[in-house]
Amino acid sequence: MEPRIDVMQSEFGAKVAKRLFAVHGLLQQTALPHATQNLVMLRASQINGCGHCIDIHSKEAAAEGETTTRLNLVAGWRHSTVFTEEEQAALALTEEATRLADASEGVSDETWARAAKYYDENQLIALVTLIAMINATNRMAVTFNQLGGSYEPGLMAAAISQ
């Protein structure tokens, strides 16, 4: 399999990517913990089958000090002991917001209340925005057939700072 489009080689694609990177940079400046952000991006990418984004977010999380045990258990977070209640609430929200088509009610009131118990309004806005952005990025990467495996930690930070 080969990538269908190299987004960064297109003038328009580079503009879109730059704006996505800008939103990501803004989210990193919020009070939403970076570890939680990394877990959320990894979990949504797993659900969406985006190897490119799984590669990026698992390597970035590891470079920021995330443990191998926690990274390996993200897909099975409900059946593990390594995530805080706050992280579990964020992961539950991530799953429901990513799988909107699978549930007639979308995000349940129970899941929302659980997240609202641990995160303030600005953190919830950041969390929902992060979930929306990683889902959009996953869909683009899968559609363009961007492949995982060659990402080097730090490339995302370099792209954000441009």
Q: What is the pLDDT of residue 102?
A: 86
Averages of pLDDT over each 10 residues, the chain, 162 residues: 88 92 94 98 98 96 97 98 98 97 88 98 98 97 93 77 64
Q: What is the pLDDT of residue 149?
A: 87
- DSSP code of residue 147: P
Q: What is the pLDDT of residue 160?
A: 63
Q: What is the pLDDT of residue 162?
A: 62
Q: 3-class SS at 49?
A: coil
Q: What is the pLDDT of residue 159?
A: 67
Q: What is the pLDDT of residue 8?
A: 85
Q: What is the pLDDT of residue 138?
A: 97
CA angle 43-132-90, nearest 5°? Answer: 45
Stated pTM of the model: 0.93
